Amino acid sequence: MAHGLLVKNEDGDVLIDSDFPHYHFLGKYTHTSVTQVPDINEGGVANAAQGSNDYKGMQNMPARGEIYKFSVPVNGAKPPMCFIKPTSTGSSAPFTGIILTKQSGTNWEIWVFQSVVTSANPVLYCFAPLSQVSTSTSDTYGLKTFDNGGTATFDSRFKPLRVVGGGNITSPTLAHTGSTGSSWTASLGVNASSVSASFTNQSSASDLIYYCPSIASACQQYTHIEADQGWYSYTYYAWARGDLWWCFYRSCFRIASTSSFEANYGVYARGHVYEHKVDSTNLLFGIVLGAITGGAYFVAAVALAVNSGAFTSAGLDGGNYLPYENSYRNNSANAFIISKASYYD
């Protein structure tokens, strides 16, 4: 820097550099609506006489998390940094993460996903560069810096972002480990061990807020196919049933203690499609069974299952939420930053 202000601490970390824009407090925001991804549940012919007619809904499936929608009034190309003040902290707290950041007119739309439904709501503490902070102040005390173009980059009157910790965290690979089901009972609940990362110890976990956009996802499924044939009421029947259950998980986070940040998953979407066929007009058992086995059947069934009306009502894009099979994506190098709510309350 040829001129300006550069403030470092004793570790050599740059605290203020007038050449670069600092993030300042925009405000504290509560959600405008809450929603969930609608269940995707669709089946074919039901027949009580031949084959099991049970478990054709979402029985035994894990509960879905919920999505809190926020609208943050900050006009500009740079997205706000939104810190989550979670509903609770500790080793039993829900996991929460930002799953969507999208510019919408003069606002930025932020979606926060929480792994379980609670009566309390997460709150956002949002920050933006000074050029996107529209609040004014009559305060004449403080320190203000400008870059060489004359643009304000730091102004203590607008509560600059103060950070108490941060780092990188890796989400678990799969959300569910072990068996995914037996017979017509799917077992897809989140049971992965949480991954933790440490940060500088603080005095109160409940005062902490964190910035850590969710980028990791996992998708797991369970299939079951069963068939039989024989005589029933003097008629020869062949029956077959095939089921596909799946969960799409999104990574989310929690403050586990005054020095520990944890990552795991929540059930973002879940689905179950099935086909149950009975044929009493011929003895070709293979035809009945063949009608429902194989990936092509499930691909077609999943495509039919999407109820676009339900997604419109929920304010979500339609889709089958089954992007891939039994795998995970984007689980590493998820940066997080910790601050304190009390700095801004």
Partner 1 sequence: MSYGLEIFDSSGNKTFSTTDSTWTLLGVYTSNADTSTTHTGVPVMPTRLVTRIMVDQISGDDESYVHTFSLSGSTLTTTAPSSSETVKTIFMVFGK
* 17 lies in the site for partner 1, by CB under 8 A: yes
Nearest CA to 172 among 250, 67, 86? Answer: 250
Pick between residue 167 and residue 290 the one whose CB is nearest to partner 1. Answer: 167
The residue range among 28-36, 87-95, 141-149, 289-297 that interacts with partner 1, by the rule CB under 8 A, is: 141-149
Residue 343 contacts by C-beta under 8 Å, 6 or more apart in sequence?
A: 159, 162
* 87 lies in the site for partner 1, by CB under 8 A: no
| List 2, 3, 12, 150, residue binding partner 1 (CB under 8 A) | 12
Pick between residue 230 and residue 323 the one whose CB is nearest to partner 1. Answer: 323
* 235 lies in the site for partner 1, by CB under 8 A: no
- Largest Cα–Cα separation, the chain: 97
Which residues make beta-bridge pairs with 254? 262
Shortest distance (Å) from residue 178 CB to partner 1: 24
Tell me if 219 sits within 8 A of 323, measured CB to CB: yes
How far is it, in rounded angstroms, from Cα 333 to Cα 201? 22
Tell me if 261 sits within 8 A of 196, measured CB to CB: yes
Shortest distance (Å) from residue 21 CB to partner 1: 5
Per DSSP bridges, beta strands 217-232 and 327-329 are antiparallel
Q: What is the DSSP letter of 32?
A: S
Pick between residue 25 and residue 95 the one whose CB is nearest to partner 1. Answer: 25
Nearest CA to 217 among 303, 113, 342, 78? Answer: 113
Q: Which of residues 18-77 bind partner 1 (CB under 8 A)?
A: 19-23, 77
| List 9, 136, 179, 203, residue binding partner 1 (CB under 8 A) | 9
| List 60, 88, 121, 156, residue binding partner 1 (CB under 8 A) | 156
Shortest distance (Å) from residue 235 CB to partner 1: 41
| List 160, 172, 242, 266, residue binding partner 1 (CB under 8 A) | 160
Tell me if 180 sits within 8 A of 222, measured CB to CB: yes
How far is it, in rounded angstroms, from Cα 320 to Cα 174? 19
The residue range among 54-62, 163-171, 184-192, 253-261 that interacts with partner 1, by the rule CB under 8 A, is: 163-171
| List 317, 325, 326, 342, residue binding partner 1 (CB under 8 A) | 317
Q: How far is CA 303 from the centre of its chain?
A: 23
Tell me if 75 sits within 8 A of 106, measured CB to CB: yes
* 321 lies in the site for partner 1, by CB under 8 A: yes
Please report, as a single letter, which amino acid is at residue 207: D
Q: Look-up: residue for tokens 């902490």?
A: 208
The residue range among 56-64, 164-172, 252-260, 276-284 that interacts with partner 1, by the rule CB under 8 A, is: 164-172
The residue range among 46-54, 232-240, 276-284, 321-329 that interacts with partner 1, by the rule CB under 8 A, is: 321-329
The residue range among 46-54, 153-161, 251-259, 282-290 that interacts with partner 1, by the rule CB under 8 A, is: 153-161
CA dihedral over 61, 62, 63, 64, signed as positive or negative: negative
How far is it, in rounded angstroms, from Cα 7 to Cα 26? 23
Q: Which of residues 175-234 bind partner 1 (CB under 8 A)?
A: 211, 213, 215, 217
| List 33, 134, 139, 284, residue binding partner 1 (CB under 8 A) | 139
Pick between residue 51 and residue 165 the one whose CB is nearest to partner 1. Answer: 165
The two tokens of residue 125 are: 């503490």
Nearest CA to 229 among 289, 294, 183? Answer: 289
Residues that bind partner 1 (CB under 8 A): 7, 9, 12-17, 19-23, 77-79, 81, 98-102, 111, 129, 139-143, 156-157, 159-166, 211, 213, 215, 217, 248, 250, 268-269, 316-324, 329-330, 333-335, 337
